[in-house]
Chain A
């Protein structure tokens, strides 16, 4: 017995020795990103203007809501490549229904009275949940790797999106624009709080982030999600229904994609075939920067929120500095690789 106590204290010392470098590693990514942001501010101090910050937060909101959905799937040790194109399809459907009724070349000339906002909103959610549920079915029941299933649905969703847009009376694939003012106001409007204008989008993001946090941490479903992601076989033995959990996580993500799509349509005000392309990569990158591990079973909602905002701030900062747009791709690509390299190092089993 005495021997064991001695050994335990020895391990504690080892832990203490490790902890500094380990803590540094945990925070390394944030430090690097902070440095990038500081560099941006030093080059052009105007970056820190209120309007820029509001813009960053608004952009981060729709992508952040997507990230909240993708994050759950990454916690399951999966991934979702279809999220962006699903969003694009939903955006197109919402925009087509919510074009201003006085616009002559609108998608549905038959609509002469404004449509209540709730119907396109629910339709967005329904479409996104249907696609996402299909992805979940592929992973849970057909035991396909989520990478492959969602690669397939990515193409399928994109095909549907293009056909839908092409199907407009003019027969062209021009973007759907001239949206209803009520719809656009969701994205442009704001709420006054203590003299600060807080955009509706940011409020929706905050509320959804809180709800997601509750679902992840305070419900049986959330615990099951972490169990399946952390060790699928142990979860199965422990009485967790793996199939139901995977389906649930995908459908929850679908709801978030649908909401994000509805908001994004209002924000960009013009929805074309390229809407939503590569959004999933930003969403995934936001999760990874926020510490959601691709190994599964690890991740927090605050991490995802911070990760999405930082990523958007850097994207916006590079754009604001007028960095060559092709160079921006290179920087963003490198950032993702650094993020994942650091993430992997945290969990490498040392012998």
Chain B
């Protein structure tokens, strides 16, 4: 088969490099986009897709490499400059001013003016025209916070269109869309392409990619792997190139043996939406129980409701057969629960605290001698944590913000090991961590399982769940869609991913 493609490139990104402390995030990364095409950018989480895009928009400064648009070298200092040059991006996380109207959000930073005042009439009419063109049925005057997430996602796309962008980057735009909305989005994308716009489409959903894209670039560990026309690639090809590692090398030997039931959860529902709805399952001693699901499937909410940081509406949690409440975190810790949160920076570390402070903060009662704390005991436990988790730090006094992501994560894991938990709730424990440190975290999780602890692990990385979990809960829109079991259901990696993806879409 001969594929006829235009030989001129709209965007060329060549030999892009980017270092972070302790990690080489991009190593000779490459992306070539032709005008009027949809170019899929694929890779596992952490492969460098988002970092590459952030280098394009000047959110990160690239360390080396060239970026050319229409053959001319460009270096945007910030996303604003990129927009001025017709390069727009729709982010996975929505950055919208929730209390303001739809049209104000779309024209933010460039309100149409008349006599020095904002021209609301013109703003309304122009917004309406774009919406009519894109078949979006939303009143431009309504407050954006009152809209559904999927509608807000579409507005971001409309906003990008309003800039008359020639290059449009969509970062997992379909994660919160229903299938009708996805169809709608695809129609818009095809229309834009007919006008010569080049679209970079980041997604994990292989079937969508095969349906919509013209070319596929695959990245792995910060490297460019391949760029091919979509029509010549099979699903197998794509997965093999994305993963390309023997599962046995990426994950430690799994030698934990689940035993008797440790925790049983029945009919658990949270009080305030969005939250988990009527979830029931059991966690065994020595078991690693994965939690899979799409963005917005409320996996984090499930863990938070168990841990007590989100209020429980109904349902029971039994630990070793005894009913427990977990009304607040103090109670949960006394009941021997531990929670590693998803957003390490926002809810995990105390950035201006030392390693010692960050290690001992959950276990202070153990160090009290009368009213005062024992420096010796605190220092001793911190050293134990540093040694047994091989945390790389110059000293206990180093501020945690100066460590790499992987070492920060180990400090927080150390914090929780000191409280001697029976149930560990781990939310994306390897997010933003380089491959070597990931392996160490996997080893630690399995070591804890062998000690008889029960572990629940939320992850968006399918291979990781399949690699180290005994069973995987699949959440879908707050409901438990099903439980996939190792041995019984685990076969080849594609089968797994398919089963899990099917379950994940069950209640969407």
List the interface of chain A (C-beta within 8 A of B): 1, 3-4, 7-8, 11-12, 15, 214, 218-220, 223-224, 226-227, 230-231, 233-241, 297-298, 347, 351
Contacts and interface: CB of A to CB of B under 8 A. Distances in A.
List the 6 closest A-B pairs by CB distance, nearest first.
Answer: A230-B350, A239-B333, A233-B347, A220-B364, A238-B362, A218-B372
Nearest to A220: B364
Residue of A223, A235, A240 with most partner-chain B CB within 10 A: A223
A87 B35 CA distance: 71
B368 A297 contact: no
Nearest to A14: B21
Contacts of A7: 19, 21-24
Residue of A226, A238, A297 with most partner-chain B CB within 10 A: A238
B21 A237 contact: no
B425 to A, nearest CB: 10
Given A237-B339, A241-B330, A231 B368 contact: no
B507 to A, nearest CB: 28
A344 to B, nearest CB: 14
Nearest to B374: A218
Given A218-B373, A237-B329, A223 B357 contact: yes
A236 B329 contact: yes
A223 B357 CA distance: 8
Interface of B: 19, 21-24, 59-61, 307, 309, 328-330, 332-333, 339, 341, 346-353, 357, 360-362, 364-365, 368, 371-373, 392, 394, 402, 404, 415, 419, 434, 436
Contact of A220 (B307, B332, B373): B373
Nearest to B353: A230
17 contacts: A4-B404, A4-B434, A7-B22, A8-B392, A219-B371, A220-B373, A223-B357, A226-B353, A230-B350, A231-B346, A233-B346, A235-B361, A238-B362, A239-B332, A297-B353, A351-B60, A351-B61
A8 B347 contact: no
Contacts of B24: 3, 7
A343 to B, nearest CB: 13
Nearest to A241: B330
A298 B341 CA distance: 23
A189 B259 CA distance: 74
Contacts of B332: 239
A236 B392 CA distance: 27
Contacts of A235: 350, 361
Contacts of B361: 223, 227, 235, 238, 240
Nearest to A243: B328
Contacts of A4: 22, 392, 404, 434, 436
B436 A234 contact: no
A351 B328 CA distance: 36
Given A219-B371, A223-B364, A226-B357, A11 B21 contact: yes
Contacts of B436: 1, 4
Nearest to A217: B373
Nearest to A222: B373
Given A230-B350, A237-B341, 11 more contacts: A4-B404, A218-B373, A219-B372, A223-B364, A224-B364, A226-B357, A231-B351, A236-B329, A237-B347, A237-B348, A239-B419
Contacts of B404: 4, 8
B372 A237 contact: no
A297 B350 contact: yes
Contacts of B23: 7
A289 B348 CA distance: 30
B93 to A, nearest CB: 17
Residue of A11, A239, A241 with most partner-chain B CB within 10 A: A239
Nearest to A1: B436
Given A223-B361, A298-B352, A239 B329 contact: yes
A15 B399 CA distance: 13
A287 to B, nearest CB: 16
B21 A231 contact: no
B451 to A, nearest CB: 21
Contacts of B371: 219
B38 to A, nearest CB: 31
B356 to A, nearest CB: 10
A4 B364 CA distance: 33
Nearest to A224: B364
A234 B372 CA distance: 23
B54 to A, nearest CB: 10
Given A1-B436, A237-B309, A239-B329, A231 B373 contact: no
Contacts of A297: 350, 352-353
A230 B351 contact: yes
Residue of B360, B364, B402 with most partner-chain A CB within 10 A: B364
Residue of B347, B365, B404, B436 with most partner-chain A CB within 10 A: B347
B339 A230 contact: no
B262 to A, nearest CB: 20
Nearest to B304: A237
Contacts of B415: 238
